[in-house]
Structure 1
Amino acid sequence: MNHDDLAHWSKRAADWIRAYHTGLRDRPVRPRATPGETAAKLPAQAPETAEPMDAIFADFEALVPGAMTHWQHPRFFAYFPANAAPASMLAEQLANGMAAQCMLWQTSPAGTEIEEVMVGWMRDALGLSPEFTGTIHDSATTATLSAILTMRERALGWAGLDEGLSGQPRLRLYASGQAHSSVDKAARLSGIGQANLVRVATDADDAMDPGALDAAIRADLAAGYRPAGLILCVGATGVGACDRIEETLAVARAHDLYTHVDAAWAGSAMICPEFRPLWHGIDGADSIVVNPHKWLGVQFDCSLQFLADPAPQVQTLGLRPDYLQTLGQAQVTDFNEWTVPLGRRFRALKLWFVLRAYGLEGLRARIRNHVAWAAEARDALAALPGVKIVTEPRLSLFSFALDDDARTEALLRRINDDGRIYLTQTRHAGRFVIRVQVGQFDCTRDDVMMIPTVVGALLD
């Protein structure tokens, strides 16, 4: 295959993509596939000689779409969305075509500088203080790991980078039970250890109790441990819990803790000023993560980390051997020093395209619709016999259940086997509950109201 062939097949692919999206409502959201089914249809070894592209494309059409969960389906209400607006798809095609490795300014001048500007655009759109700068990672997991590594080194005076952790004080991290599993993973991978992630008690709204946080820190200090950092959440994955940011950050400041706020999903909603009370006091954080790929239509992967001061993170993660020097340009930004991987994709391009193609007002309208339609769906579900709303909507996320776990789980299986909508589960206060999260880029009110329609039809 050469570039002339690519031109032909790119047009063919664009036509296929258009037809795919046009027909998504006619497909079940989740495939009726069994483990190993797709693998069994593939040859055991790679071909020794080139195969014609028409055969490859035909196999793609035959094997792949029917065995995929359709994340762009307008009735995908599971997890959080991984949206891909058409403008983002176009930008991703261009970025793929250039295939740049954006690790340094000199390897990607436009890529680096557009990223810097996009961070500024998003900072202002979210109402954050102008002191924040930042970078674009692949996912919130990497942003959180970067923040926790910074917490570790700051607490150790950056001794861990050279000396390792052996013989160092026992470090402690603090988060609530609502925090995402990426916090646990970061505690493990950073060498701090999951046993040193202290789960702080929450109140009736699932928010971290500032008094309990202060008590936990004081108890660790008395035990000879060294508190290193606080991780808070705004719109936690389970049921959308939001910590009381201003009050908990005040406790962290009193104990000189580095702070990271996981607003990966809900942060996008802060382009709407009326939702900003959910993270009141956010300007006091050291690090914040917001994923435009979850609710703003920017194709996965695109995770923004805002930093009040990038110096501690760059000191932790930066490494500049001779072969990564940009000669004669000492003041340029090399974003590989702000994150874990050396290699970086040109993620800023799709953010630039989306913000321009839809505008902040267009994106605000979508988010406001999703929040309003989720509330309407909540009310319709609450009117069904035997359905109990367990957690009220936080933005566009809420949960419901039947009278016992077994019946709730059986209902969820029937819902997803039906195929018209896709929902997932979590546990809340020891109870199995069904999550509803509205946020797919092209969904309509009718799509959202299919949720109570399907649930009502499948109640036993």
Structure 2
Amino acid sequence: MDSNEFRKQAHLMVDWMADYMENVEDYPVKSQVAPRDIYEQIHAAIPEQGEKMESIFSDFKKIILPGITHWQNPNFYAYFQANTSPPSILAEMLTATLGVQGMKWETSPAATELEEKMMEWLGDGIGIPEGWAGVIQDSASMATLSAILTAREKRSNYQVNDEGYGGYTNLRVYCSDQTHSSIEKGAKIAGVGKRNVIKIPTNDLLEMRTDLLLEQIEADIAEGFQPLCIVAALGTTGTMAMDPLEAIGKIANDHNIWLHVDAAYAGAAFLLPEYKILMSGIERADSFVFNPHKWLFTNFDCTAYFVKDKKGLLNTFSILPEYLKTASDGLVNNYCDWGIPLGRRFRSLKLWFVLRYYGMEGLQKLLRFHIELAVWMETEINKRPDFELVVPRSMNLICFRYVPKGVDKLEDLNTLNEQLMQKLNAMGKLYLTHTKIHGIYTLRMSIGQTNVAQSHIKNAWKSIKETAVDLTNNNKGE
């Protein structure tokens, strides 16, 4: 493809992209296809002859789009958002064009130095203590694995990396019973073992109980276990519960246990002064993670991972075969030594574009607006006797259920709310997901898509109410 043809095709696709962003609400939020629908429409093997871009792009629209769940639809309230924004998309286009492999400073100095500066910007913005260092990872799961591995190596004086586990087979990781599955996964990959991930019970607000954490640690020490790492969640996946960081940090410091703070979604909100109180105690932690690719309008993937001890991180991951040695080693950051992968994408460019385009004021305005929309939704739910919050609103996340008069059994209410969610999602007008809280089937509404407006929330609430009443009436008719 020569440059003239590339220019022609690129203009066509950018026009389509702009139209898509403008009209994304016209698509059903959740894909409506059945399993294997897409697979069966795709050629069985690589074509013998090359095809024209017009044909390929036509098939993209005809085959691929129906199988897309439109995460950028303002009516996407499921999971947590994976937001984009125009400046981030434009930066991704440049990133793809440059095709940088930023494993070392010398492979593209700008990729390394921009990343270093962006992590300083973010760290200062959310309240990371001075002296910490940051690196961009691909996901919070990878950051959590990095934290567990670094904790393991520091605990063993880097013996495990050199000689294998030896006498370090009785390590333990602690988290609440609400924390993300990535902690178990990380412990499995790190060789700690799923059985040695100890889940600490939570209180009525689903926050980790520090009295039970301390009891468990002391009991484990008495039985010969070695406490390795505590993971504190500032915003759990299910309900955005906030673990008491200050108290957990004191326990971690008193017992020389690595403290990793998982703020994957909620961390963006720490750009707001009114939420910085939740970071109280961060100086006691050893590592911290949040995802700009969730609620900070930056395309996936872009995870901000901060560590107190840069040397410990490098001692865990650095390796320098002859072919990677360069004259600048020791003078600059080589981010291939700051995590598991050798190859690295130029992720900092899109972060730079986003932070400069919106500025601190613009970012804070959007975050506050999303929280205000959630407050409005919370108020509306509280007005209705047939709906209730299962736990209090946390930032921009609403956890609620439908409780019509005459349906009293937990099992029946759970079934009814599951039917409600499935019916709403099948309509394509909005997309919700669920969690279970103390056995209660709970609908989750995460209000944080980049372009969500008051009108979207009002229409969503209208659909929820009407569908719930219709469902109850239909069940009575049966």
TM-score interval (norm. to shorter)? over 0.9
Cα shift at 1:119: 0.3
| Residue aligning to 1:135 | 135
Secondary structure of the structure 2 residue equivalent to 1:432: strand
Secondary structure of residue in 1 paired with 2:72: coil
CA contact (8 A) 1:118 1:348 kept: yes
Q: Which residue of 2 aligns with 1:228?
A: 228
Greater CA drift, 449-458 or 134-143: 449-458
Aligned: 1:346 with 2:355: no
- C-alpha distance in 1 between matches for 2:211 and 2:465: 43
Output the CA distance in 1 between the equivalents of 2:329 and 2:182. 36
Secondary structure of 2:393's counterpart equals strand
The CA RMSD measured in Å over matched residues stands at: 1.2
Q: Return the offset for 1:386.
A: 2.0
Tell me, in whole angstroms, the C-alpha distance in 2 between the residues paired with 1:380 and 1:234: 26
Summarize the Cα distance change of 1:173–1:457 in structure 2 as closer, same or farther, 3 Å threshold: same
Report 1:240-319 matches (<5 A).
Answer: 240-319=240-319
Which residue pairs with 1:174 in the alignment? 174
Q: Show the counterpart of 1:407.
A: 416
**Aligned-pair distance for 1:204?**
2.1
Contact 2:217 2:227 in 1 (8 A): yes
Q: Say if 2:105 is the partner of 1:97.
A: no
Whether the 8 Å CA contact 2:127–2:279 is kept in 1: the answer is no
Aligned to 1:191: 191
1:274 Cα deviation after fit: 0.2
Q: With structure 1 as the length reference, what TM-score do the two structures score?
A: 0.98
**Residues 1:450 and 2:470 aligned together:** no
Please give the residue correspondences for 1:308-387 in structure 2 after superposition, counting only pairs within 5 Å. Answer: 308-387=308-387
State the distance in 1 between where 2:56 and 2:65 align: 14
Contact 1:155 1:227 in 2 (8 A): no
Kept after mapping to 1: 8 A contact 2:205/2:391: no
Choose the corresponding residue for 1:424, options 433, 441, 457: 433
CA distance in 2, matches of 1:37, 1:409: 25
Aligned residue identity for 2:72: Q
Q: CA deviation at 1:167?
A: 4.4
Pairwise CA distance, 1:312? 1.1
Contact in 1 for aligned 2:200/2:208 (Cα 8 Å): yes
The aligned counterpart of 2:391 is 391
Deviations 1:118-174 (A, max 9, x none): 000011111222222110001101000000111111122211112212543400011
Q: Which residue of 2 aligns with 1:108?
A: 108
Structure 1 distance, partners of 2:165, 2:341, is 21
1:368 deviates by 0.3
- Counterpart in 1 of 2:449? 440
Counterparts of 1:56 and 1:457, CA distance in 2: 42
Which consecutive unaligned segments of at least 5 residues does structure 1 have?
Answer: none
Q: Is the 8 A contact 2:38 2:67 kept in 1?
A: yes
Q: Which amino acid aligns with 2:196?
A: N
Once the two structures are overlaid, the 10-residue window that deviates more, 204-213 or 353-362, is 204-213
User: Cα offset for 1:260?
Assistant: 0.6
Give 1:427 deviation, angstroms: 1.0
Structure 1 range deviating more: 287-296 or 385-394: 385-394
CA distance in 1, matches of 2:62, 2:119: 41
Asked whether the 8 Å contact 1:81–1:439 carries over to 2, the reply is: yes
Letter of the aligned partner of 1:195 in structure 2? R
% identity of equivalent residues: 37
Q: Which amino acid aligns with 1:402?
A: Y
The 3 A distance-change label for structure 1 pair 398 and 328 is: closer
Q: Quote the Cα distance in structure 1 between the aligned partners of 2:147 and 2:228.
A: 11
* Contact 1:155 1:226 (8 Å CA) reproduced: no
Asked whether the 8 Å contact 1:234–1:263 carries over to 2, the reply is yes
What's the secondary structure of 1:29's corresponding residue?
Answer: coil
In structure 2, C-alpha distance between the alignment counterparts of 1:28 and 1:320, rounded to whole Å: 50
Q: Would you say the 8 A contact 1:297–1:441 is kept in 2?
A: yes
Q: Residues 136 and 302 of structure 1 are in contact (CA less than 8 Å); yes or no, is this contact kept in structure 2?
A: yes
Task: State the 1:328 CA deviation.
Answer: 4.7
- Counterpart of 1:68 in structure 2 is 68
Distance in 1 between the 2:234 and 2:354 partners?
Answer: 24
In the other structure, the counterpart of 1:163 is 163
Q: Which amino acid aligns with 1:6?
A: F
Deviations 1:33-88 (A, max 9, x none): 10000111111011011111111111111112222000100110101111110000
Displacement of 1:278 in angstroms is 2.2
Worse-matched range after superposition: 401-410 or 162-171: 162-171
Shift of 1:97: 0.4
Q: Secondary structure at the match of 2:43?
A: coil
Q: CA deviation at 1:27?
A: 1.6
Q: What is the one-letter code of the residue matched to 1:306? A: F
Consecutive aligned runs of 4 or more in structure 1 exceeding 4 Å deviation: none
Q: Distance in 2 between matches of 1:86 and 1:7?
A: 20
User: Which letter does structure 2 place at the counterpart of 1:367?
Assistant: L
Task: Give the CA deviation at 1:178.
Answer: 1.2
Counterparts of 1:420 and 1:220, CA distance in 2: 50
SS in structure 2 at match of 1:38: helix
Q: Name the SS for the 2:116 alignment partner.
A: helix
Greater shift after overlay, 312-321 or 79-88?
312-321
Question: For 1:118-133, what aligned pairs fall within 5 Å after superposition?
Answer: 118-133=118-133
Q: Distance in 2 between matches of 1:384 and 1:31?
A: 31
**Matches of 2:385 and 2:209, distance apart in 1:** 35
State how far apart, in whole Å, the 2-side matches of 1:354 and 1:406 are: 42
Residues matched between the structures, number? 460
Partners of 2:151 and 2:162 lie apart in 1 by: 16
CA deviation after TM superposition for structure 1 residue 329, in Å: 4.1
User: 1:385-444, CA deviations, whole angstroms, 9 ceiling, x for partnerless residues?
Assistant: 421210111100121113411001000011101111110011111221110101101111
Q: Please say if residues 169 and 192 of structure 2, whose CA atoms lie closer than 8 Å, have aligned partners that are also in contact.
A: no
For 1:59, the equivalent position in structure 2 comes to: 59
- Which aligned pairs between 1:45-56 and structure 2 lie closer than 5 A? 45-56=45-56
The letter for the 2-side match of 1:217 is I
Secondary structure at 1:434 match in 2: strand
Q: Is the 8 A contact 2:287 2:305 kept in 1?
A: yes
